[in-house]
Amino acid sequence: MSENESSVPQSRGPAEHSVREQIVEAAEAHFSHYGYEKTTVSDLAKAIGFSKAYIYKFFDSKQAIGEAICAKTLSTMIAAVERAVADATTPSEKFRRMFKTLVETGAGLFFNERKLYDIAAYSAGEGWPSARSYCERIREILTEVVREGRESGEFERKTPLDETVHAVDLVMQPYVNPLQLQYNLDLVEEAPVQLSNLVLRSLAP
């Protein structure tokens, strides 16, 4: 019926991009207030003043909108981690800051934007691409830090790199995965410190 419908979903022009953004922002505001799980696309359409059909031109499903919101939220967290790591000088300090920032931004989301946190937790539980790529990016940053520590002689090199990274990633998971962080909120201060100490002892040459 319109030009939009015939375009390829992955390669939209700037105008469409801005409409998508507009829908995502309105949906984010709506979901932050009413929650993701309980809202239908019809509710959302009514609330943000677009027709349901118009929204479906840009997003295949409610999940696609949730995905876009989740990706935005998680990429803000990743950016905070990247800044924290860039600010540190030694690999040990990079690891500490990485862990601390991940927990702080996750807990901040929980306490300040609970409904957005719930979308992130839901996405982690369902294994959405946004949640998976968040985990992959965390793992990449961690791999980089461990590799740097091995090269500078600050960390041991006997254990295969993959095994080390995987195990350290497992230690961080309960504080990084929003599905689990909610059970560990009383530990957000001490756990990153205590666990970073333990991990750094395990990484010592």
Task: Give the binding site for a copy of itself (CB under 8 A).
Answer: 156, 159, 163-164, 166-168, 170-171, 173-174, 177, 179-180, 183-184, 187, 191, 194-195, 197-199, 201-203
Q: Which two tokens stand for residue 203?
A: 């990484």
- Distance CA(168)–CA(203), nearest Å, equals 10
DSSP letter assigned to residue 60: S
Minimum distance, C-beta of residue 168 to a copy of itself, in the bound complex (Å): 7
Q: Which one, 39 or 196, has the nearer CB to a copy of itself?
A: 196
Q: Which one, 37 or 156, has the nearer CB to a copy of itself?
A: 156
Q: Which two tokens stand for residue 59?
A: 């997003």
All residues at 6 or more sequence positions from 14 whose CB lies less than 8 Å from its CB, including other chains? none
Minimum distance, C-beta of residue 165 to a copy of itself, in the bound complex (Å): 11
Minimum distance, C-beta of residue 108 to a copy of itself, in the bound complex (Å): 21
Q: Which one, 64 or 171, has the nearer CB to a copy of itself?
A: 171
Q: Which one, 14 or 153, has the nearer CB to a copy of itself?
A: 153
Minimum distance, C-beta of residue 98 to a copy of itself, in the bound complex (Å): 17
Q: Which one, 44 or 191, has the nearer CB to a copy of itself?
A: 191
In the chain, what's the furthest Cα-to-Cα distance? 66
* Helix, strand or coil, per DSSP, at residue 79: helix
All residues at 6 or more sequence positions from 75 whose CB lies less than 8 Å from its CB, including other chains? 134
Minimum distance, C-beta of residue 161 to a copy of itself, in the bound complex (Å): 13
The residue assigned the tokens 């409409």 is: 19
